[in-house]
A = this chain, B = another copy of it.
């Protein structure tokens, strides 16, 4: 008799898990429960449809529902799982009753942190998540004149740029002194903020949300902040991601300090035959060991494949993360790996710094873009521990991927200062910015 794996959640982690199970155990019964009408679209593309860079929500769909049927994955749409019983190895499914499993994978994803202020039930508050809702909200955006984006995290960055591109008077509020302060350094963000101002965006830092204010129809009309009221007919609530851990918590599965489900290297939870993946779990940072939660769709998918492969009887590990990241921000692309100066300082981690302002192609080749690289290394060993970058876009993602591996494998500034690089005028400059930054870092290390 085939073994049955139940998966709760139809996002990247859930579908990665489903594929992982089938890869290890092609005959397995795989059932996926999702609250939503769709699976297999890219939620990460939503801000770019709102911004007009992508012209149609339909383009975000990756595969039709039939593709899952063909792959032997039984997806139950608009279906809620209301409870897990790990002793009985069952889940309770609304409308289906008690369903038993041999293995369970929890891929319940994230929720936006509750802003915790009055007025949360007003109309006009947009939580970006579900593609069907995004299609409806796009019509609201088309009519909106003034918008406030709450919090300058990764989604806030994307939505600020999108709304500005749509010609809306856009205000960003954030309690921190600069944007993306949980990840990026202020010197990396300063040009981004400048480019937002050029787009007409109003930036309100060191500003706390106090309430959403409504009109007599129950629609938002303004946002009340520590620095005064900002009128708005649309508010994008882009608070940070928190793990959607309610089912797991009620089932007695162990949670970590971030609220994420604790998993081992094989994505196994504290409960027998129960695995978890994606935004619902926490994963240790490769260097600092601090738990991280709410990473990217790529992480969720890879974790899902690991959980699924193991649930299906295979043996696969998912290791601690060094978190390459990158995103467009205003007219720039920013990125990095591991942490920057702000986080290192907050964690009490000393560092030597090497910086360089380089270019993406030969100086004289059309389309050349700036590439600024900042490297952080451990004093003494000079091992790379973090990196941040800002540039026109060319090669930021690939450099971030590389630098994350350089951190993982303990490359030093010496190693990076002696690395070879492609030199071909149309695609790369004589001096690779990473090499120059590493060389400058060696100089700084000598000076002590």
Residue numbers of A with Cβ under 8 A of B are 12, 42, 44-45, 48, 53-54, 59-60, 62, 296-299, 301-302, 317-319, 321-328, 333, 335, 362-366, 393-402, 404-406, 408-409, 411, 415, 418-428, 430-432, 434
Residues on B with beta carbons closer than 8 Å to the beta carbon of A48: 365, 425-426
- In the bound complex, how far is the Cα of B418 from the Cα of A385, in angstroms? 19
Are A44 and B326 in contact, CB atoms less than 8 angstroms apart? no
Are A430 and B333 in contact, CB atoms less than 8 angstroms apart? no
- In the bound complex, how far is the Cα of B48 from the Cα of A417, in angstroms? 29
Are B422 and A42 in contact, CB atoms less than 8 angstroms apart? no
- In the bound complex, how far is the Cα of B395 from the Cα of A396, in angstroms? 9
Q: How far is the CB of A46 from chain B (nearest CB, A)?
A: 9
Q: How far is the CB of A35 from chain B (nearest CB, A)?
A: 22
Are A298 and B365 in contact, CB atoms less than 8 angstroms apart? no
- In the bound complex, how far is the Cα of B422 from the Cα of A38, in angstroms? 25
Q: How far is the CB of A323 from chain B (nearest CB, A)?
A: 7
Q: How far is the CB of A426 from chain B (nearest CB, A)?
A: 5
Per assembly, the copies of the chain total 2
The answer, among B60, B366, B396, B424, for a CB contact under 8 Å with A327, is: B424
Are A53 and B426 in contact, CB atoms less than 8 angstroms apart? yes
Are A53 and B393 in contact, CB atoms less than 8 angstroms apart? no
Residues on B with beta carbons closer than 8 Å to the beta carbon of A401: 402, 419-422, 428, 432, 434
Are A59 and B364 in contact, CB atoms less than 8 angstroms apart? yes
Most chain B CB inside 10 Å of its own CB: which residue of A53, A298, A409, A420: A420
- In the bound complex, how far is the Cα of B399 from the Cα of A298, in angstroms? 18
Name the 8 nearest CB pairs between A and B, nearest first: A398-B398, A298-B423, A59-B364, A402-B402, A397-B428, A395-B398, A326-B422, A397-B427
